[in-house]
Amino acid sequence: NGVRATGIIWGRNTMADGEGDPGVFTATALPGDPRLLPTVTNAFLGTRVFRDILHAAGVYSGAAGDTHRADVPSPLGLRMAAPGARSPAQSFTLNTWTGEQGAGTSPGGSAEPRLFLLLRLHPSIGMEKAPSFHPVEGVFEGWSWREHLDAPASQSRRAAPQDTWMFPNILLLHPEAARAILRYRIRTLEGARRNAREQGYEGAKFPWESAATGREVCPEEIYGAQEIHITGDVLMAFEQYYCTTQDQKLFQEDGGWELVEAVAQYWCSRMVWSEEEQLYHIRGVMPPDEYHSQVDNSAYTNAVAQRSLNFATDLARDLLLLAPEEWEDRARKIKVPFDEERKYHPEYDGYSPGEPVKQADVVLLGFPLMHPMSAEVRRNDLEMYEPVTDPAGPAMTWSMFAVGWLELKELQRAWSQLEKCFSNITEPFKVWVENSDGSGAVNFLTGMGGFLQVILFGFTGFRITRSGLLFDPAFPDGITKLKVSSISYLGNKLEVTITREEIRMEVTETSWDPPASPLEAVLESGQRFPLGEGMAALPASAPWNNLGRNHSHTHTKLFCCRAECLLPHSARMDPEVAQQAP
């Protein structure tokens, strides 16, 4: 079955070789909290090192909200003792490059090697160009572990944040895996339809915590019933995928359009018309800020609903389908709360400035939602909510404030927010926890995803739009170079190296089936740099623009804002289109 165990041999001091390597973590003692022991998993089997149980994909106990991964006895949690010997010197190493966890001991000062067998199944997942684990969907099916591997409470249900916090990173680096995540949503569409019907609405309502069928299994009903922005988050993932791949097959043949249509129907049925304001309202929801519930017109919820309807309308045109006129009408007339006097977005109707919030909420309008607003409003939103956000809130919050300040080139403020994330990384094996006091979920994927987005979307300024891949780098003091490899865009693999002097882009790989779109980088000045397989150097001091593809090969354009952008080689930027680009 392709399963193998790797033997790791150690002797005196051999496990300390990772010192200085940023991907190898070594310690002479294990953490006192067993939750902070590293996990070893290949998305099918997983275990926390030195524990006596394994978890396996597809093996569960319990029903609905009580379901969890079944505990399977593990033959791997072995420890060795040397009776009568002096206290041995021990060391423990986690190698994140190879996905290995090792332990070493030198009993009585002996340098004689000892062998410790470590589970390392399908070790090439995410480590090599050609993973040995097929089909690719199987890799991410393993992510149905609630948000953490924390036996015995690890859950078989999928929690909502994967679409917002993990998916964008996966999409830029592994679009085939991103497609697998979307296919999971398509497979669970009928369950989402049933969720909507049971609440009296049309279309499909995706669950806050999902069973394998797509049914809502969140044990706390208030989240499943009210935190409905998840449905828009799911569709935003489909939109981002479409913009970076132009994969129409997913929508025309594999069920994607039916999902898009069902989400649009849900939002329309969820809206009510306000005669007083002459706008559509969405009432009785919980925003991303979970300190508040049963509120009307959550700014984020309504904005993501608007984006869902706009995408559904645009996609229908691309697929030569007829979209109901009400989609465009409701997108245009939905209320997104805005204070004209203070020039900021209240979190919901009736929000009072200074009221505490749990986590990133309104700041998500700027990124990842890219809701239209001026730089002044973006700044006001950040300044309004930064001081009232709970400092003990979940890890991903500060990442989004960091991205916002990077957008505005407030580099020191961005760095101060990013530094807060480090409080959620525990020693010695860099295991993430949900809250800075160590409480909450362990191996907190949401926090990790937010942190990665600061690198992939904050420092680079990458923005996925319908008109182009925008990028506008910004480095805080102390960072002089950023290199990102294997960026996937329109069938191309890119390596981007950014310094304070220049940006170097190299197309390292192009697909043939379907054929990749030829790309070119475009500066705001209009200067263009065709990108074939090879290197192009762009001046870092120039106004930045965008990335797009070549119309001579019947490919769509991609534009960047103030940063360099990749566009089709022979594309001509239509000034009218360029002005409409986000």
Residues of 447-456 as b/e, b for ≥16 C-beta within 10 angstroms? bbbbbbbbeb
Q: How confident is the model over 195-235, as pLDDT tens digits?
A: 999 999 999 999 999 888 999 988 888 999 999 999 999 99
Report, as an integer, the average pLDDT of 37-61. Answer: 82
**Is pLDDT at 472 greater than 80 in this prediction?**
yes
Report, as an integer, the average pLDDT of 318-339. Answer: 98
Q: How confident is the model over 345-386, as pLDDT tens digits?
A: 999 999 999 999 999 999 999 999 999 999 999 999 999 999
Distance, CA of 370 to CA of 450 (rounded, Å): 16
Say which residue, 87 or 309, is predicted with more confidence. 309
Q: How many CA atoms lie within 13 A of 153 on its CB side?
A: 8
Q: How confident is the model over 160-191, as pLDDT tens digits?
A: 678 999 999 999 999 999 999 999 999 999 99
User: Annotated catalytic residue: which of 100, 239, 261, 290?
Assistant: 290
Identify whether 290 is a catalytic site residue. Answer: yes
Residue 333 burial (C-beta neighbours within 10 Å; 0-12, 13-18, 19+): middle
pLDDT value for 20: 75
Range from 169-183, 276-290, 469-483 carrying the lowest mean pLDDT = 469-483
Helices (H), 53-212: 137-141, 167-173, 175-187, 189-198
For the chain, the structural domain boundaries read 5-119, 469-580
pLDDT value for 413: 97
Report, as an integer, the average pLDDT of 236-244. Answer: 98
**Residues ≥6 apart with Cβ < 8 Å to 140:** 43, 170, 177, 180, 181, 184
pLDDT value for 352: 97
Residue 513 burial (C-beta neighbours within 10 Å; 0-12, 13-18, 19+): exposed
What is the per-residue DSSP string for 158-198?
A: EETTIIIIIHHHHHHH-HHHHHHHHHHHHHTHHHHHHHHHH
Report the Cα–Cα distance between both ends of the chain, in Å, rounded: 48
H or E element at residue 485: strand 481-489
What is the per-residue DSSP string for 215-260?
A: -B--SSHHHHHH-THHHHHHHHHHHHHHHHH---HHHHTSSHHHHH
**Is pLDDT at 569 greater than 80 in this prediction?**
no
pLDDT value for 31: 92
pLDDT band at 22 (very low <50, low <70, confident <90, very high): confident
Residue 20 corresponds to which tokens in the numbers above?
A: 């200085």
Q: How confident is the model over 392-409, as pLDDT tens digits?
A: 888 899 999 999 999 999
Using alpha carbons, list the distances in angstroms from residue 50 to 54, 150, 236, 442, 565: 11, 14, 40, 17, 48
pLDDT value for 268: 99
H or E element at residue 558: none
Percent of the chain with pLDDT over 70: 75
β-pairing, 546-549 vs 566-567, is parallel
